[in-house]
Amino acid sequence: MVDKIDNKLLKQQVDFFAEIRHAYHEYNMVEEAIYQVAQNDELEVSRQAEKIYDILISDDPEVELEKYYDIAPNSYLKEFAGISYLTREFGDRKDQNGASLYLKNLNNITQEMQIEILKRDKLDYTFQSLSVIAAIPILFIEPIKNWAVSQFSFTSQFYDGKGGLIVQTLLLILTFVCYILIRKIKDNSATNANLKNTENPWQEKLYKIKPVKQIVDLFMPKRGTKDYRKIEKLLKDSASKQKLHWIYINRIALSILTFIVSIFMFYQLHKVTIQYIYEQPTSDYNILGQMSQLDEKKAIETTKRHNYFLDRFKGKTSTTKEQLITAMRYSDYYEDATDEEIEKEADTIFTKLQTINSEYFQWFEILFSLVFSSIAYMSPIWILMFQIKMRQLDMEDEVMQFQTIILMLMKIERINVEIILEWLERYANIFKEPITKCLNNYEAGAWEALEELKNDVSYVQFIRIIESLQAAVEKIPIEEAFDELDTERAYYQEKRKESNERLISRKGMIGKVIGFAPMICLFVGYLIVPLVVIGMLSMTSAFETMSNMA
């Protein structure tokens, strides 16, 4: 829903900026042009235009502008508000062709928006239905089970037993994980950058409880240690708004919850196995179809007969087959039975009894629960790593947006390197932390702060921008330091489009692999493999029975 609203607003902004151009030609005043276009009450962008107009005519527009930057729906409206303020404050200039610099900057922002809209439309097309495809296998679990059991009755031992429950659980976990990953891959980074975490989530409230705080602090690395710096770097590189203690509360809570759920699942597996033995009609395998009503009635009677002896010897692990046969001979159920019939049924009952007596908590199940708990404990860290990988795909896109911002600012009078850095920080997402650090150190030495920024980043295109800023600090004017941006504008736009194509292609490939994984696992792991494996075992058992009869 957030993506759809953001996309709708972006498309309205394209028409809004076109109307601003016409109004600016008419009034030649920034605030008047914005006021006239803002009169359209039907559009969401008009509300933003009214806010920007109120900022421009306020007593302290600079302070109001900073407040607006925190609530602006997207970076393009931030750019528009900032350029409008600078133009109103310092006046408009003409470029070498006599065109208005303000209108030229509006055109640059519009081109950026059009590229972004095309990118999002292509992403939406690439990812259409992938979220549904990732989640829909849940709906097919029960129909597939019912069909397989109705057509091949021998598969009921899998679907109604322990194996079926394990596969169902794994399918549910896989579906949930794949759905979350699909959403994270598709989400627009521009939208994500504006979504703020609440200041007081449940983790913060929990952390304020003294015993909880003491426990969480035991798990958290101490400030200044290698592990502390590693987790802090993960949070910064992934642009996560979470605090360190929130992450550890999530890790501990997930770990405890997973351990409890795992113990419950193992208990449920034992219960399902015992219940299957007590309730499933006892008969020879039928390769195809289901039993007739008469056969089913006989099978149920056989199961009830077996259950009598199972209840009698349940929990007595030292019971031997001979003891079972003796008890059967002296029971009312086998008064008229031959020794051969008693021997045959004793084999079946004894096998059932051994299974029931072995269905109790084993030490390795506790071990498995601890392993699952450890995986859950690490999952928040792995999610941060996954977000970093996804953000690396968007790195080139952000640097190209920096180039557009510099292109708009470099010809405005009284613009210096520090103001450019403030603008880059405002619109940065991936590189926000190093730019903020550079600004904090700027007063102590501009060149040195930029040199440290260069050491903090590894992306070559951004390093070139930093080197141009260093040249503008001491040697040459800003306009000369970035003159290639203006002359190669068309090249950078084409490169941006081509980069977006690669980004969409890579995201689409990853998304399709993740999106179709649950569906493939459903049909292969829950239908085909059980049919083949249990069918082969059933046929082998049938052939052995025929051989013995012969």
Most confident range (mean pLDDT) of 256-260, 338-342, 501-505 is 256-260
**CB of 187 closer than 8 Å to CB of 325:** no
45: part of which helix (H) or strand (E)?
helix 44-56
- Determine, yes or no, domain membership for 300: yes
CA 53 to chain centre: 38
Residue of 391, 389, 388, 395 lying closest to 460 (CA atoms): 395
Sequence letter at residue 547: S
pLDDT, residue 376, reads 92
How far, in Å, CA of 337 to CA of 329, rounded? 8
With respect to residue 301, please indicate whether it lies within any of the assigned structural domains.
yes
User: What is the overall mean pLDDT for the chain?
Assistant: 83
14, 110 Cβ separation under 8 angstroms? yes
Examine the fold and report which residue of 96, 128, 160 is the final residue of a domain before the chain moves on: 128
Q: Is residue 393 very low, low, confident or very high in pLDDT (cuts 50, 70, 90)?
A: low
- In whole angstroms, give the CA distance from residue 14 to residue 2: 19
Joined tokens for residue 95: 């470029």
Q: What percent of the chain stands above pLDDT 90?
A: 11
Cβ neighbour number for residue 321 with a 10 Å cutoff: 15
Mean pLDDT of the region 431-437:
87
* Tokens, residue 59: 């007593």
Task: Kindly give the residue spans of alpha helices, DSSP state H, lying in 280-362.
Answer: 293-313, 321-329, 339-358
Helix (H, G, I), strand (E, B) or coil at 94: strand
Per the domain annotation, does 116 fall within a domain? yes
Is 343 inside any structural domain? yes
Is 540 contained in some domain?
no
Domain boundary at 99, 128, 157, which? 128
| E strands, 61-188, in order | none
* Contact (CB, 8 A) for 429 and 189: yes
Residue 462 near residue 402 (C-beta atoms within 8 A)? yes
**The pLDDT of residue 476 is above 50:** yes
What distance in Å separates the CA atoms of residue 113 and residue 439, rounded to the nearest whole number?
A: 28
The tally of CA atoms less than 13 A away on the side-chain side of residue 67 is 11
Q: Which long-range contacts (CB under 8 A, 24 or more apart) does 365-373 make?
A: 365/263, 365/266, 366/263, 368/262, 368/266, 369/258, 369/259, 369/262, 369/263, 369/266, 370/259, 372/258, 372/259, 372/262, 373/255, 373/256, 373/258, 373/259, 373/262
Stretch among 159-163, 227-231, 368-372 having the lowest mean pLDDT:
159-163
At residue 227, the pLDDT reads: 87
Is residue 77 a part of any domain in this protein?
Answer: yes
Tokens of 379: 């999952």
**What Å distances lie between residue 299 and 128, 248, 274, CA to CA?**
50, 55, 17
Which structural domain, as residue segments, surrounds residue 109?
Answer: 1-128
**For the ranges 136-140, 295-299, 308-312, which has the lowest average pLDDT?**
295-299
The number of folded domains in the chain is 2
Residue 251, pLDDT score: 92
Q: What is the CA radius of gyration of the chain?
A: 34
What is the sign, positive or negative, of the torsion defined by CA atoms of 152, 156, 159, 163? negative
> How much is the pLDDT for 195?
42
Whole-Å CA distances, 428 to 101, 145, 344, 406: 24, 51, 77, 13
Of the three residues 306, 331, 358, the one that is the final residue of a domain is 358
115 assigned to some structural domain: yes
**Other CB atoms within 10 A of residue 499 CB:** 20
Q: Is residue 234 part of a domain?
A: no
- Write the pLDDT tens digit of every residue in 98-138: 778 888 888 888 888 888 888 888 888 888 888 888 888 88
pLDDT in tens, 179-190: 888 887 876 544
Average pLDDT over residues 353-369: 85
Specify the pLDDT at position 197: 46
